[in-house]
Amino acid sequence: MCFTACLWAKLGRIVYACRIEDAEKAGIWQIPISSSRMKQLGESGVQLVGDVLREESLKLFEAWSRGKTRPGT
């Protein structure tokens, strides 16, 4: 859905930090179709730039994952 919305918006480039497996490890369910596969299926010319600030983003995923297990959250 996010990739499709980017195509509808006619974005020329998508920049992202984390991968599907990173989100899943943090407990966030993801459709297991990568942006590069979506690009291929949609025959899109959008530029994909991945792993930008990935290590920093992984720390945020880890903090979020720890926080969601606290009682009352």
pLDDT along the chain (73 residues), means of 10: 87 93 87 90 93 94 78 52
CA distance 31 to 41: 15
What is the predicted pLDDT for the residue at 71? 52
**34 phi/psi in degrees, rounded to 5:** -70, 160
Residues 13 and 46: beta-carbon distance below 8 Å? yes
Longest dimension (CA), the chain: 46
What pLDDT is stored for residue 36 in this prediction?
Answer: 92
The pLDDT value recorded for residue 13 is: 96
CA–CA separation, 31 and 24 (whole Å): 10
Q: Return the domain boundaries, the chain.
A: 2-67
Residue 47: predicted pLDDT: 96
In three-state secondary structure terms, 56 is helix
What's the pLDDT at 64? Answer: 85
Q: What is the pLDDT of residue 45?
A: 93
Distance of CA 60 to the CA centre of its chain: 13
